[in-house]
Structure 1
Amino acid sequence: MGPGPLRRNRLYEQVVHQLLTWAASSGLGAGDRLPAERELAASLGVSRATLAQALVALEVTGVVAVRHGDGTVLLTAPRPDSVLAALDARREDLGAVIEAREALEVRLAALAARRRTDEDLAAIDTALAGMAADVEAGGRGVAGDEEFHAAVTAAGHSPLLARFMAEIADRIRDSRIESLAQEGRPHRSLEGHRAIAEAIRSGDPDAAAAAMAAHIHLVSDVPLLGGG
């Protein structure tokens, strides 16, 4: 038996609550796989898009892992109320994270254009190739996205800025997951990365900074968890 239909008020939050309640009543625990998204959406009486929002909410709070080709796996089984409280806190934090990325990563891209080595360019290319392969296979490219930004940070050769980036890495990862869960976003993000990489390769600090700023503006549009 699946979970029952929901009222349509703050729908994705209701889906989160219902999924966790149903998982607990079904005896599911860490390591167990949830039913397929199509089946879950039908059981809840919601669209797959709404279900996807709920799964992203659970992913960024560390409750599930969404694995391309392997479905959605429970990592833990917290109380629904604690998850919803964590989501509220993350919504309030998102703007600050974007501001920090604009301050740090735009500068790092410019520095990378001036300071990159052949090894740095190779690391950037490897990250791009990994993300492209994942996206073309139907994945979201989260790991490749993370590796790309790490490679650009390393290419900037600024230990202090790199330390600042490390301090907000977990929060950036949450916004990355939310952003790349949106339809069409992985391909657009990949193109943004390619523009940044080309400017860095060309040794053009202004172009690299502009490309990174445009990219962060794109990924800052993460409304999945922001509404009622």
Structure 2
Amino acid sequence: MTDALRPVAAKPRLYEQVLDSLRSYVAEGGLGAGDRLPPERDLAARLGVSRASVKQAIVVLEVQGLVEARHGGGTYLVRDTLDVEPVEQLVERRRRLPDVLDAREALETKLAELAAERRTDEDLVAIRSALARMATEIEDGAHGVEGDRLFHAAVTGAAHSGILAEFMRSIADQIAESRNESLRQPGRPPRSHAQHLAILEAIEARQPKKAAAAMRRHVRTVAKVRLLDWDPEPDNE
């Protein structure tokens, strides 16, 4: 029997200690994707902390796509480990994500509009290829991250705007963060693919306003992530 779930000493952000204990528990117990964690009440008793601290730790794991909390059915591992991103990094990403999403909406909406006006047949081939790549990744059980990246790059290329493309390159790392955050939301990859298809259809039909509206809807969906609803400093801990 592992002793990873032993009482922990109090300190600020007690849930971070709970996260450490859960990571050790999963590793020492040989648990993997699909396995269920003990109920929150049991975890709280074994760790000597409040259920609020356990619940906050579970929320952090959900935010990072490491567990799935099923309503009334317990909490299950999504991966074979609980390699949790440091909370401070999570907090920092949460702080900058809204600005990144604002920039994406402004830039990519205009790029989609220009793409519908200026695209070539070669541009359409590149966009379709990216969509096919994303579909294959999703079918294989992945999130479609590379296909998503290629799609947005192809739309940017189809706009034939050097300045806007440079702006996109300047925030490429932040865009990648927002992409990864969005695509690990439950059910998001197929929804994202469907939205991409709507953007392609408008670009192919040379309908700038429709392309811009479809891209705006897509980026606003990207903005709907659990991270932005998370409170890193809960009052009840």
Computed over aligned residues only, the root mean square deviation of the Cα atoms, in angstroms, reads 3.5
Unaligned runs of 5+ in 2: 44-53, 67-78, 232-237
Q: 1:182 and 2:178 equivalent? A: no
Is the 2:65–2:185 contact (alpha carbons within 8 Å) kept by the matching residues of 1? no
1:167 CA displacement: 1.2
The separation in 1 between residues aligned to 2:129 and 2:15, in whole angstroms, is: 36
Paired residue for 1:85? 88
Structure 1 pair 224/40, CA: closer, same or farther in 2 (3 Å)?
farther
The separation in 1 between residues aligned to 2:15 and 2:157, in whole angstroms, is: 38
Q: 1:224 and 2:233 equivalent? A: no
Paired residue for 2:48? none
Q: What is the one-letter code of the residue matched to 1:154? A: G
Paired residue for 2:234? none
* Matching residue within 28, 43, 53 for 2:62: 53
How many residue pairs were aligned?
199
Q: 1:212 and 2:221 equivalent? A: no
- Single out whichever of 174-183 and 200-209 deviates more from structure 2: 174-183
Paired residue for 2:144? 141
Q: What is the one-letter code of the residue matched to 1:4? A: L
Is the 1:53–1:225 contact (alpha carbons within 8 Å) kept by the matching residues of 2? no
Runs (4+) of structure 1 exceeding 6 A deviation are none
Paired residue for 2:99? 96
Q: 1:200 and 2:203 equivalent? A: yes
Is the 1:6–1:14 contact (alpha carbons within 8 Å) kept by the matching residues of 2? no
The separation in 1 between residues aligned to 2:226 and 2:7, in whole angstroms, is: 22
Unaligned runs of 5+ in 1: 27-33, 58-69, 75-79
Secondary structure (helix, strand or coil) at the match of 1:38 reads: coil
Q: TM-score, normalised by structure 2?
A: 0.70
Is the 1:121–1:201 contact (alpha carbons within 8 Å) kept by the matching residues of 2? yes
Is the 2:185–2:226 contact (alpha carbons within 8 Å) kept by the matching residues of 1? no
Paired residue for 1:4? 5
The separation in 2 between residues aligned to 1:100 and 1:161, in whole angstroms, is: 11
- Single out whichever of 194-203 and 132-141 deviates more from structure 2: 132-141
Q: 1:36 and 2:45 equivalent? A: no
List per-residue Cα deviations over 1:65-95 (Å, max 9, x = no partner): xxxxx96697xxxxx8x92212111111011
Q: Choose 1 or 2 for highest CA Rg.
A: 2
Q: What is the one-letter code of the residue matched to 2:5? A: G
